[in-house]
Amino acid sequence: MVKKMAVLSERQKLVLALLVRDYVETIEPISSGRLVKNYQLDFSSATVRNEMAVLEEKGFLSQPYTSAGRVPTRAGYRYYVRRLMGEDQLPAHIQEMIRHQFYQARHDVDDWLSLSASVLAQHSMGAAIVTQLHTEKARFKHIALLSTRGRQALVVIVLSSGEVHQQTLVLDETLSQEQLSGIASRINQLATGLDVKELKEKEPEQAGSLLKEIFEVVLNTLKGSEVISSGEVYRDGLANMLSEPEFSEPEKAKQTLEIFEDQVMLDDLLSRTVFGSDTPGVHVIIGGEDTWDQLEDTSLILASYGKKDHAMGAVGILGPLRMSYSRGVSTVRFVSDLISELISESMGS
Amino acid sequence: MVKKMAVLSERQKLVLALLVRDYVETIEPISSGRLVKNYQLDFSSATVRNEMAVLEEKGFLSQPYTSAGRVPTRAGYRYYVRRLMGEDQLPAHIQEMIRHQFYQARHDVDDWLSLSASVLAQHSMGAAIVTQLHTEKARFKHIALLSTRGRQALVVIVLSSGEVHQQTLVLDETLSQEQLSGIASRINQLATGLDVKELKEKEPEQAGSLLKEIFEVVLNTLKGSEVISSGEVYRDGLANMLSEPEFSEPEKAKQTLEIFEDQVMLDDLLSRTVFGSDTPGVHVIIGGEDTWDQLEDTSLILASYGKKDHAMGAVGILGPLRMSYSRGVSTVRFVSDLISELISESMGS
DNA sequence: CTTAGCACTCTCAGCAAGAGACTGCTAAAT
DNA sequence: ATTTAGCAGTCTCTTGCTGAGAGTGCTAAG
């Protein structure tokens, strides 16, 4: 589905671009005079007014009330991001700084993700989300059973993608670590390398209820992993986002917070954008794009990380419509590339 | 340190109690007349006014401006919670409902915790925090090494308390699951049942750099577990809290959010209250209690769960000063007792 | 010690007036 | 045909004022 986009003259594009940039900084309706003065345009404010009127008619600008300055509409932001916004690189010294932080957490992959969230939050002045997830057709690789305390046991399942699932079980009776290890190695012998279908055939008929029970857990894990769903989600910078003036209205703040907390929404969003589309790179979702009503006043900048054929997760930031898109895009791109790089490096050749 | 508390007449206590309750519901300054009318007091508004003046002088009430109604101060809330508030039980049908939810998640201990957060958030209309943590002197119990993908490996360490730690490592070379299992069982033979000190003596001199490296990880884990620190933290109901009118001022909202996000603060708070004190039960922290400046406009209701000698974690809710303390306390108490019960049950005899 | 009565204080909503900020339009200039 | 200066018109925002209402503190009587 390709949307028809109105054709704008060069000067109209210029006016729109300047207006968006200025508005993002000042959060105040921008007047024609201001634009001319601030950017030393070589045409007059009356001309700008005429162009603004056209831009308004095409739906890119709006006025809070008659004869106030203009404000970009959702469509205005979209046009700006897709056609007008230059693609800045993140300044070299900031790149260096971020790299440095990552190399310090060299040994723990989970740390990379939570660090990413923190870095994104910091550099975007907004809220950040980082997910783990799995899209590859899953095969069973390995299971470990660990006795923790009393009747509790921890089940850790590793899939061929490298993804790890775990779950605490409460058993019917207390079992020693040796007994659990025994069960685990039986399952490992039985199931290594199999996918869901193959696994189902091997299901033990009546081989002791516990073995069967744990087999069930494995099966469910594999089944569950066929759905695109983010596992653990790292969030950061909520406070940043809520200090944006647009969220001083409690209603909007609440709305946006619910998105931030709502895993289901997030999964839907990711599978329909970064993971659903075949164009790689950074995706910008502005005001819900007429698809997600709840996101009316929120924009997201998202990107996947990991290899194309088995993407491993997504990173992104979340902010008001009026956010610095160019800064955001370059930050998200840089971080997602960096994680991809670190991960592929750590996977050896 | 026992604080001297002003002595109040019975009638003053009554006025304070009614005022707090009424204010919590209405969020409006309470006038003398209103109190008399609403609760059919058998003395006049003038009398109430006199009592209010006394209460104000003692620091329990304040006026937003000359001749408006009265509002409780932090000290007022404290006196109310410690001396005046009755201890309601959670209504039976709600207890039943919550129990039901928990029994549905019977098999996964982690689910209990995230469910607790959700239940607390729902029933308190505030934000909820649930932590895992460890206080017992830790001994090593078991380790598992799992090959995930390429050079990445997952280290899972179980301590004698039943606590589980895990970490992803990036190895120098790709190792097979068999090789990793071999290393794990060597460490298990070597270290099972030992504490930090004993473990240090057994440290392998030069037995292959990988074995040594993983041994380091075990050591650090044990060391780390001597500090009181919450592990994973479950949060819920943020949106609830931010829809409270007192947080419509962005500054306060931000302040409180930072607490919600700040792990260090939370650890400090917990170790100095629920885990630091020898009185068991529910702790109410009102407006930071002159100790935590950031909590000026926030109250917390906290309780630990698990057995006394090896407490396993804390649950709590977080809201504005003007929160329903009696409801909150009974909810937190019920949930923490319920988790304790479920856990001790699942630990067998 | 309690209470009725009253003067006083302070907020809040409403209204009017003036200033300021921009726009839209028209007519002249390029 | 396009651009621009000029100007009337529109809308917001601030300020000051007024009257109503709510609630207190004080005083003097019960």
Q: Is the CB of B53 under 7 A from strand D?
A: yes
A158 part of contact set with chain B, CB < 8 Å: yes
Decide if A346 and B152 are in contact by the 8 Å CB cutoff: yes
Quick: pLDDT tens for B198-248: 888 877 776 667 888 888 888 888 877 666 666 678 999 988 888 888 887
Which range has the worst mean pLDDT, A320-324, B89-93, B191-195? B191-195
Decide if A148 and B164 are in contact by the 8 Å CB cutoff: yes
A147 part of contact set with chain B, CB < 8 Å: yes
By percentage, how much of chain A surpasses pLDDT 70? 91
Decide if B146 and A150 are in contact by the 8 Å CB cutoff: no
Is residue B155 within 8 Å of residue B145, measured between CB atoms?
A: yes
Question: Residue A30's pLDDT is what?
Answer: 96
CB contacts of B121 in chain A (<8 Å) are: none
Which range has the worst mean pLDDT, A44-53, A170-179, B48-57, B91-100? A170-179
pLDDT band at B343 (very low <50, low <70, confident <90, very high): confident
B28 is written with which tokens? 């409006």
- Res A348 pLDDT > 70: no
Nearest Cα to A125, choosing from A314, A337, A322? A322
* More confident of the two residues A92 and A135: A92
Average pLDDT over residues B257-269: 85
Quick: pLDDT tens for A174-201: 888 999 999 999 899 888 888 888 888 8
Question: Residue A4's pLDDT is what?
Answer: 54
Nearest Cα to B253, choosing from B234, B238, B264? B238
Residue B253 has its nearest CB partner, among A109, A147, A242, at: A242
Distance, angstroms, CA A51 to C1' D5?
17
Residue B169 has its nearest CB partner, among A107, A149, A154, at: A107
Distances (CA, A) of B32 to B9, B45, B61, B257: 17, 5, 13, 35
Question: Residue A28's pLDDT is what?
Answer: 93
**Which residues of A, range 31-90, sit inside 8 Å of B by Cβ?**
none
CA-based nearest residue in chain A for residue B213:
A107
Distances (CA, A) of A305 to A312, A342, B148, B207: 6, 10, 18, 37
Distances (CA, A) of A114 to A108, A121, A339, B92: 10, 11, 11, 41
SS3 at position B66: coil
**Which residues of A, range 275-334, sit inside 8 Å of B by Cβ?**
none
Residues 45-74 of A with CB under 7 A from strand C: 45-46, 49, 52-53, 56, 63, 66-70
Nearest Cα to B295, choosing from B305, B284, B303? B284
pLDDT band at A61 (very low <50, low <70, confident <90, very high): very high
Question: Residue A228's pLDDT is what?
Answer: 59
Question: Residue A190's pLDDT is what?
Answer: 86
B169 part of contact set with chain A, CB < 8 Å: yes
Distance, angstroms, CA B302 to C1' D22?
39
Quick: pLDDT tens for B245-262: 888 777 777 878 888 888
CA-based nearest residue in chain B for residue A161:
B149
Decide if A248 and B245 are in contact by the 8 Å CB cutoff: no
Q: Which amino acid does the sequence have at B71?
A: V
Is residue A46 within 8 Å of residue A53, measured between CB atoms?
A: no
B265 part of contact set with chain A, CB < 8 Å: no
B81 is written with which tokens? 């919670």
Which range has the worst mean pLDDT, A144-148, A176-180, B184-188, B257-261? B257-261
Question: Residue B278's pLDDT is what?
Answer: 75
CA-based nearest residue in chain A for residue B248:
A250
Is residue B16 within 8 Å of residue B55, measured between CB atoms?
A: yes
Question: Residue A349's pLDDT is what?
Answer: 42
* More confident of the two residues A22 and A294: A22
Which range has highest mean pLDDT (A151-165, A296-310, B113-127, B150-164)?
B113-127
Quick: pLDDT tens for A199-222: 888 777 766 678 888 888 888 888
CA A113 – CA A232 distance, rounded (Å):
10
Distances (CA, A) of A92 to A88, A98, A261, A324, B79: 11, 10, 34, 19, 57
Give chain B's mean pLDDT.
Answer: 87
By percentage, how much of chain B surpasses pLDDT 90? 45
* More confident of the two residues A80 and A213: A80
The alpha-carbon gap from B280 to the nearest alpha carbon of chain A, in Å, equals 23
Decide if B150 and A169 are in contact by the 8 Å CB cutoff: no
Which range has the worst mean pLDDT, A224-228, A259-263, B259-263? A224-228
Distance, angstroms, CA B52 to C1' D25?
12
- The residue lying closest to nucleotide D2, measuring its CA against C1', is A47
User: What would the 3-class secondary structure string for A270-333 be?
Assistant: HHHCCCCCCCCCCEEEEHHHHCCHHHCCEEEEEEEECCCCCCCEEEEEEEECCCCHHHHHHHHH
CA A258 – CA A256 distance, rounded (Å):
5
* Count of Cβ atoms closer than 10 Å to residue B345 Cβ: 12
Average pLDDT over residues A162-171: 82
Average pLDDT over residues B161-173: 81
Question: Residue B311's pLDDT is what?
Answer: 61
CA B45 – CA B65 distance, rounded (Å):
19
Question: Residue A171's pLDDT is what?
Answer: 84
- The residue lying closest to nucleotide D22, measuring its CA against C1', is B68
User: Taking chain A, what is the end-to-end CA distance rounded to the nearest angstrom?
Assistant: 39
Q: Looking at chain B, how many residues does it have?
A: 349
- Res B349 pLDDT > 60: no
* Count of Cβ atoms closer than 10 Å to residue B246 Cβ: 17
Q: What are phi and psi of B37, to 5 degrees?
A: -70, -50
Decide if B250 and A238 are in contact by the 8 Å CB cutoff: no
Question: Residue B107's pLDDT is what?
Answer: 61
B264 part of contact set with chain A, CB < 8 Å: no
Nearest Cα to A21, choosing from A11, A32, A12, A30? A30
Q: What are phi and psi of B322, to 5 degrees?
A: -80, 75
- Res A310 pLDDT > 70: no
B105 part of contact set with chain A, CB < 8 Å: no
The alpha-carbon gap from A162 to the nearest alpha carbon of chain B, in Å, equals 4
Give chain A's mean pLDDT.
Answer: 87
Q: Is the CB of A22 under 7 A from strand C?
A: no
Q: Is the sign of the CA dihedral A285, A287, A291, A293 positive or negative? A: positive
Strands B71-72 and A140-149: unpaired
Nearest Cα to B169, choosing from A162, A160, A218? A162
B95: left (phi over 0), alpha (psi -120 to 50) or beta: alpha
B109 part of contact set with chain A, CB < 8 Å: yes
Domains of chain B as residue ranges with CATH:
10-84 (1.10.10.10), 92-135+228-346 (3.30.450.40), 140-224 (3.30.390.60)
* CB proximity list for A48: less than 8 A, separation 6 or greater: A15, A32, A35, A36, A41
Residues 306-325 of A with CB under 7 A from strand C: none
A250 part of contact set with chain B, CB < 8 Å: yes
| Distant-in-sequence contacts of B86-95, Cβ < 8 A, 24+ apart | B86/B326, B87/B326, B87/B329, B87/B330, B88/B326, B88/B327, B88/B330, B89/B330, B90/B123, B90/B330, B90/B331, B90/B334, B94/B123, B95/B334
- Res B189 pLDDT > 80: yes
Question: Residue B67's pLDDT is what?
Answer: 81
- Res A3 pLDDT > 60: no
Is residue A191 within 8 Å of residue A219, measured between CB atoms?
A: no
Strand partners, B144: B156
Nearest Cα to B44, choosing from B55, B53, B35? B35
Q: Is the CB of B50 under 7 A from strand C?
A: yes
- Res A47 pLDDT > 90: yes
Question: Residue A134's pLDDT is what?
Answer: 63
